[in-house]
Structures are given as structure tokens and as C-alpha cells.
Amino acid sequence: MRDATTRFTDRVENYVKYRPHYPSVIIRFLRDYCALSPSSVIGDIGSGTGILTRLFLENNNRVYGVEPNKEMREAAEQSLIQFDQFHSVDGTAEATSLPTNSLDFVTAGQAFHWFDRDQSQGEFQRILKPDGWVALVWNEREGASTLFGQEYEQLLCTYGINYNKVTHKRLEQADTRQFFGRDYRFVSYPNAQHFNFAGLKGRLLSSSYSPQPKHPNYAPMLAALQLLFERHQTDDKITFAYQTKLHCGRLG
């Protein structure tokens, strides 16, 4: 299995185009429950191409996007260039290089399952101000809620590379809960994307477990995806349904 920090190097273009964004209700929840304000300083860890980072920048926060993958980090720098409050950092969850007690919030979007849990917890405690917050976010596909979702999940199990090992779904809520010490809350919000076949293909190829063109699973996977799309499309579109899951709290 390729190192977690390089798994997305060849997928950046599709990641930028086809990965879902996060609903703005996340910001409202963090305002109400965690006293998030525009003056809060955010460290977005494993920030990737900046999808979650953008949500906080649009809230006028100062955000440090910590990302070890050069290609993803450069994509974020390009897409967020208009935000003066954005600071791009070459670092990892276990060694961010950020100053001690410098952050009000540590966030991670679609990334926490890649972290070393013990080392990142210690690093987050170091860089957070006293009583700072951690917010972990995932867009999780509703694979069992529709026939399309069930068949797409089966496609991943059949053709994906190490799918069952690397999917964040292997991380149970109880495991995530144990990361926090106090004031833990979990909320979930509906989210969706609507794709033609080109979009569906791009969404699949943005995933770290999808085989690349030279892999023997690549061509049969795309053939199966085409058939799946044709069976379930309506007006040449398919709906990807998600639950956006937010875990937040303070560390012990």
C-alpha cells in the first residue's frame, strides 16, 4: 500500500473537479456550539486541495492549511490565491511545524483516518490554545440507501485497490469519540452531488483506491461503471448522496 501522503499525487485534477464540498451549516453549528467567530484561528490539517479550508476562509477566518502532498498543496495555493488569510504549510498531522498554543481550532476534512492517532493527538494538544477545539469532518456516501449506492459499493469492493483497508468507513464513531476528552458532539447533515457519466468517472478516479490506467482492474472497472450509470441514470444524471458527518470536541 502506497504511503498515505502520496496516494493522491496522480489524482489531484479529478479531486479538485469532482470531490464534494461541505455544507455551510457546519459553520453555523460551530458558531453555536464551539463559539467559532471570524477572529478564530484555524489549522486545517491534511487540507489537501483546500475544500474544507475554503469554508473557513469564507467565514473570514485565518487558516493554516497543513498538507504534506506537494501537488495537492499547490492546487490549494492556486485555488485559494484570492484569500489573504490563507497560509499554506508543508507539514503533517504528526509534525505540523505550527507554533505552540497558536490555534483556536484544529480541523480535518476527509483526512483523520490517515493520521497516526496518538502522535496527532499530542501534536494537536501542542498547537491548540487552552480549551481549543478539534473538528473532524467526512462526506460519507450513503451506500446502502439506494440500489445505485449498493451497486457502486460493490464495484469498489470488486475493483478497488485495498478499498476495505483504506476507506474511512473502517473508522467507527466509537473510535473517533475516544480521540476526544470532553465536550464531544456528533452531528450529521445531508449532502449530494449530481453527475453525468464524465463526472461519475472523475469522482471514482479521484479516490485513492481506484486503479490507475495501467492496472488490470482499470478497464473492467470503467466498463462496469458505464453499465451501472446506464441502469440508474435519469435524464443523463446520477445522484451521489452523502451524509456530512461532523465530530467535534476538546482534547483531554
Q: Is the pLDDT of residue 2 over 50?
A: no
Exposed / middle / buried, residue 82 (Cβ in 10 Å: 0-12, 13-18, 19+): exposed
Does position 230 have pLDDT exceeding 80, yes or no?
yes
pLDDT confidence of 1, banded at 50, 70, 90?
A: very low
Task: Look up the pTM and report it.
Answer: 0.91
Would you kindly state where each structural domain of the chain is located, as residue ranges? 9-142+169-194+241-250
Q: Tell me what pLDDT residue 3 has.
A: 64
- Tell me what pLDDT residue 21 has: 96
Class in CATH terms, 9-142+169-194+241-250: alpha beta
Average per-residue pLDDT in the chain? Answer: 92
| pLDDT of 166 above 80 | no
Of the listed ranges 9-13, 40-44, 111-115, the least confidently predicted one is 9-13
